[in-house]
Amino acid sequence: MQTTFAIISAILAVIAAVTWHRSATIWVPAPAGVDKGHVPGHGLYDDDSSGRRYDVIETIKAQSRWNRIASISAAGAAVFHGLTLLRFAL
């Protein structure tokens, strides 16, 4: 059982790392033809450092979804790692 918990912990830790990286790099492109700034009734758009125009609000929502997955995975990894240590200590 200890090995199983350690493997689950490691898998969840990798998932957390990958999804946190995704949350840091995801961006949602703005619809074609919109100008930088706020378009009433449509959203908020900006350019990143490489000149790509993106939808600020939708990008934040996407980052939030990936962060949620990452934090749940990290919490699971911590729980299973803790159970592994407790099992080893007993």
DSSP state, residue 29: B
pLDDT in tens, 22-74: 999 999 998 887 877 777 667 788 888 888 889 999 999 999 999 999 999 99
Question: Hey, which of 3-7, 35-39, 44-48, 75-79 has the most confident mean pLDDT?
Answer: 75-79
pLDDT at 3 over 90: no
Q: Is the dihedral of CA 28, 32, 37, 39 positive or negative?
A: negative
Record the pTM. Answer: 0.81
Confirm if 33 and 39 have CB atoms less than 8 A apart.
no
* Matching residue, tokens 């449509």: 42
Q: What is the pLDDT of residue 72?
A: 98
Please give the Cα distance from 70 to 47 (Å, whole number).
26
